[in-house]
Amino acid sequence: MGHNRVGMVRWFTFGKVVIAEPGRRFTFDITFGPVPISRWDYEFTDTESGCHLTESWTDHRPRVLRLLFRPIFGNRTPRNADGIHTTLVRLKSTAETPATR
């Protein structure tokens, strides 16, 4: 279950893993009750120095919901692009931090 908020508005979503290929791909779908909301995908590609991670988000909300809720929740595309950037920066930092005992 996901806990979400924008300002004072709070809501819950549910996630379901749809692809789990260790070391290659991790994908999950988000729903709000029976309504599809989005798909999040993480794809790992081997490189000479480690790996490259690509994170993507696809909006699956019905068009009418996107239009109806935009005044409340804003445009999710730039908000999620910022979140993706933050996630990737944090993952890179964590992955490159030497392990301690």
Q: Which two tokens stand for residue 31?
A: 């729903």
For each of the chain's 101 residues, which pLDDT tens digit applies?
Answer: 888 877 787 888 999 999 999 999 999 999 999 999 999 999 999 999 888 999 999 999 998 988 888 887 778 888 888 988 999 999 889 988 887 76
pLDDT at 35: 92
pLDDT at 78: 86
**Does residue 38 belong to any structural domain of this protein?**
no
Q: How many domains does the chain have?
A: 1
pLDDT at 47: 92
Q: Which two tokens stand for residue 62?
A: 């019905």
**Does residue 37 belong to any structural domain of this protein?**
no
Q: Which two tokens stand for residue 69?
A: 């809720």
pLDDT at 100: 77
**Does residue 42 belong to any structural domain of this protein?**
no
pLDDT at 9: 79
**Does residue 47 belong to any structural domain of this protein?**
no
Distance CA 3, CA 69 (A): 17
Sign, Cα dihedral of 74, 85, 25, 16: negative
**Does residue 77 belong to any structural domain of this protein?**
yes
Q: Which domain holds residue 79?
A: 66-95
Q: Model pTM?
A: 0.80
**Does residue 25 belong to any structural domain of this protein?**
no
**Does residue 24 belong to any structural domain of this protein?**
no
Distance CA 71, CA 8 (A): 14
